[in-house]
Amino acid sequence: MIIRETVSCEAMPQSDEKYGSEVPQDSDKDKCVKSEPHDLKTPPAEKKTGAGDDKRASDNSAKVDYGYDLYPERQGGKYKPSVWEHFFLHEGENLSDQITCEKNVYNCFKKSHGVKLMLAALKASGCPVDMSRNVSCETCEHIVTGGYDPSTNQIVVCQNVARKENVVQGILVHELIHMFDFCTKKVNFANLEHLACTEIRAANLTHCSYISSIMQGDSSPINIKRTHQECVKNKAACSLVAARGISKREAVRIVDLVFPQCYGDLEPIGRRVRRNSDDIRRAYLERHKYGYV
């Protein structure tokens, strides 16, 4: 199975609709979808109309792809762009995109304090990260920007979506948190509570700045107090919906179940970093106190 990354969360359509309130069953899944995914070129067995439609939920027991369909290169396939995508979105320039992506990954490994902190924590935990072995730049469907594949122990960076170094940095830190959880804890990614917990931790530590919380619909200029939690809950629930095809209500229930414990667990970064601040550098400088050297 593959842990999908950074599926964009659509803002909640009704401004007065609070997180966790009763929502109609047939409308709650699609709130987590940024756009309709493309018709898949591979594998041909599945045709999507929405990332969280009922077909996925009902077929979940029979279908074991666990998300590989959005990452065609994982199982030896190749993403084939349409004519439109080729000429207007410059899709299909795989080699050029791959080299740009790998250069960004290399620069992050060498310069980014967040990535270096995670690498040190993983190495100290007995799980060294090999840049070429554990990171793969691939072409993916546009609704994902990256992922973590525990079966091959690789982080997938979507070279056709993540084209800038700061975006690649965010993906790497997020996926390295999943990797850290897998390395140090008995995480079973088929267990929804475990999946929810690792997604809560990743969203808590790497996403949900005030601006992204506004864009997600969880905060506003007049609603600021403690809305970071709502952003993290919403993001984690959306990740569960996209990864497992369960209903939003079920995802919310599972996230609420594990939230108090997982929200407070900040290892190995140790703080909720403020965007555009020096926090991550200071977190990196104090890593030796926790054995991450």
Residue 9 or 135: the one with the smaller Cβ distance to another protein is 135
Q: Does 134 bind another protein (CB under 8 A)?
A: yes
State yes or no: residue 105 binds another protein (CB under 8 A): yes
Angle between helices 248-264 and 228-244 (to 10 degrees): 130
293 interacts with another protein by CB under 8 A? yes
Q: In the structure encoding, which two tokens stand for residue 170, read together?
A: 């965010």
Q: Is 128 in the site for another protein (CB under 8 A)?
A: yes
Measure the CA–CA gap between 204 and 209, rounded to whole angstroms: 9
The yes or no reply on residue 206 touching another protein (CB under 8 A) is no
Q: For 75, how many CA atoms within 13 A lie in the half-sphere containing its CB?
A: 13
Catalytic residue of the set 5, 73, 91, 175? 175
Instruction: Specify whether the CB–CB gap between 5 and 148 falls below 8 A.
Output: yes
Pick one of 42, 60, 82, 98: the residue that binds another protein (CB under 8 A).
98
- Is 175 catalytic? The answer is yes
Q: Which of 52, 72, 114, 268 binds another protein (CB under 8 A)?
A: 268
Report the site for another protein in 171-200 (rule: CB under 8 A). Answer: 181-187, 193-194, 197
Cα–Cα distances in Å, from 123 out to 142, 176, 180? 32, 12, 10
First to last CA, the chain: 31
**Should residue 76 be labelled a site residue for another protein when binding is judged by CB under 8 A?**
yes
Tally the C-alpha atoms within 13 A of residue 235's C-alpha that lie toward its C-beta: 31
Rg (CA), the chain: 18
Write out the residues near another protein by the rule CB under 8 A: 73, 76, 98-99, 102-103, 105-106, 121, 123-128, 130-137, 152-154, 181-187, 193-194, 197, 210, 213, 219, 224-229, 258, 261-262, 264-268, 270, 272, 274, 277-279, 282, 285-286, 288-293
Q: Which residues are the active-site residues? A: 175
